[in-house]
Structure 1
Amino acid sequence: MSVTGRAWQVWSTTAEVLVTDPAALDEACAIAAERIRLVGDACDRFRADSELSGLRDRAAAGAAVSPVLEYLVAVALDAARATGGLVDPTLGRAMREVGYDRDLRLVQDEDGRPVKAVTTRLPAWRRIRLADGRLTVPDGVELDLGATAKARTADAVADVAAAALGCGVLVNLGGDLATRGPAPAGGWQVTVQDLPGDPACQVSLGSGWGLATSSTRRRTWRRGGETMHHVLDPRTGRPAPPVWRSVSVAAPTAVAANTLTTAAIVDGARALALLQRHGRPARLVDAAGGVLRVCGWPDDRAEAA
């Protein structure tokens, strides 16, 4: 099999599609572009014309939603339940408070305004109601589906492209990877590294895997004299303490892997126990650059799956 691919910019990050049949690349990329468009139309919180933005003033009373948005909210709520709320889709307002209120390329450093902590007695995600195509969100709560929606999009594109084209497919959306269909000889070769100069690991992925990396260093800006990043702790509404530079997890889907990487960043020093409970191969890089591996994550240049 001859692997070929294409990459382009979307959602403040890079989309990449690789296929084992060069003749299928154009169609695979078209499938990816269409799915990315549908998801952006549904839940891009930086677009005033997205469906999610249009619901802000009327979701408290309950509003009909499209099947795409309904499904993406359901995926996000599943992630919240699976992590006991460490991954929380109701952090839209907190994201704005810390300065992540527009496309990351447009976020500017501002040192004049301090960032307030946001706390709630009852996790807001437990108060969301989703049934029969209707969504109810408590007044004052704003949804941010970014992480799980991006990962689920990678899964969906890989699923559809592999089934439609009959070849092996790897989809990478900003570090959320999904592989489907027959893998190339030796597996999909993936370098796991957050930023240049960080410790790197080469792994080989077979078919039917997801791989995700969450980072406290890649998406950063200054606000109120502090360095901010985009992984917020739902218990405080502030960026999670940077115990880990990055966390990578392999799982059957990209959204399952992303859910655990986000939860591990938020859980800080307790992340190792969390990942061991879930039993997924994981690699953590701490603040000093040290690497920890759990649940069978391989040594450098070994196979991950």
Structure 2
Amino acid sequence: MPLLETLPVGPDCAQWEVWGTLARLVVTDPAAVPAAREIAEDVLAAVDGAASRFRPDSELVRACRTGGQPVRVSPLFAGLVSVALRAARDTDGDVDPTVGTALGELGYDADLRWVVLRAVRPRPQPPTPVPVAGWRQIRLRDDELTVPAGVHLDLGATAKAWAADRCAREVARRCRVGALVALGGDIATAGPAPADGWRVRVQDRPGEPHCVINLPAGGAVATSSTVSRQWSGSDVTLHHIVDPRTGQPARRVWRTVSVAAFSCVRANTLSTAALVRGGRATRWLAELGAPSRLVADDGVVRTVAGWSAKEGTR
């Protein structure tokens, strides 16, 4: 289930389904909506062709089938891999692009809409942790990428956020408007904001705690969740946030973590890592000075580093 954001809906807004979630585009000039949507759809199509785990013709899938041999990749895909490796480095490996193999073994090897409809039999949890291959094994030199044999990449933690950033920037630049782009829980803005900022409601599911924030021009927010993308297998509920140290879904200390920043990639990197870090996340985010909202598994909300929003229960 996609995360819920309340965005303006009207002549200044377009929305459509993409990547199993809802894409929403809001601009400050309604006349720019058709052109802005075309720009955003072109960016999303290019990212999908480069980084999808589920398309046999994607650059990602081809790069993972070379048996450890180097392969030439496009500047776009090289950039997406570089962003993923930087996220891994910045989080001490908590956000690791080599979790693709583990996700496949857990049953998440196709679009989630199909995964939830079938009987998934993930591998039994091993008695001792089995870490993923590790991001340091990936070699990227300019446009030459080497993925070790047997390793499958998953750029989902950063590629969607990067796409939100790129869509917002391109729409703002080419249409000369303020733009907000939301891809599920990843929200990016560019260009001039409305007079009172971009008003965004952050909530995981109906009836759960929510808050409303105002993003300034260029602001971004990302919400990562252990409950929005989940499926059942062997009488256990699984989710898509993998702990690279075990190869298993991260222990669910937090239902969701939201982080505000001035790039969606940065916000998503921190929110995903926080789910992996569990109880250590609040201190880490506070030390980074990253305004954050963490919803515990029991629904209790904690905020750090100046996150300021009025909480609601309905």
Query: Could you tell me which residue of structure 2 aligns to residue 214 of structure 1?
Result: 224
Pairing 1:1-305 to 2, within 5 Å after superposition: 4-58=12-66, 60-108=68-116, 110=119, 114-117=123-126, 119-120=130-131, 124-300=134-310
SS in 1 for 2:98: coil
TM-score, scaled relative to structure 2: 0.92
- Inter-partner Cα distance in structure 1 for 2:136 and 2:64: 18
Amino acid at match of 1:262: T
Superposed displacement of residue 141, structure 1: 1.0
Residues in 2 aligned to 1:131 and 1:153: alpha-carbon distance in whole angstroms = 22
What is the one-letter code of the residue matched to 1:96? Answer: G
In the alignment, is the contact (CA less than 8 A) between 1:249 and 1:282 conserved in 2? Answer: yes
Give ranges in structure 2 of 5+ residues lacking alignment. 1-9
Q: CA RMSD in A?
A: 1.8
What's the CA shift for 1:168? 0.7
Number of aligned residue pairs: 301
- CA deviations 1:12-41 (Å, max 9, x no partner) are 111110000001111111111000000000
Q: Tell which deviates more after alignment, 134-143 or 55-64.
A: 55-64
Question: Any conservation in 2 of the 1:124–1:138 contact (CA below 8 Å)?
Answer: no
Q: Contact (CA 8 Å) 2:221, 2:267: kept in 1 or not? A: yes
Partners in 2 of 1:135 and 1:111 — Cα distance?
32
TM-score normalised according to structure 1 size? 0.94
Contact 2:210 2:311 in 1 (8 A): no
Alpha carbons 2:138, 2:146 under 8 Å: kept:
yes
1:90–1:125 Cα contact (<8 Å) kept:
yes
Partner SS state of residue 154, structure 2: coil
Unaligned stretches of 5+ residues in structure 1: none
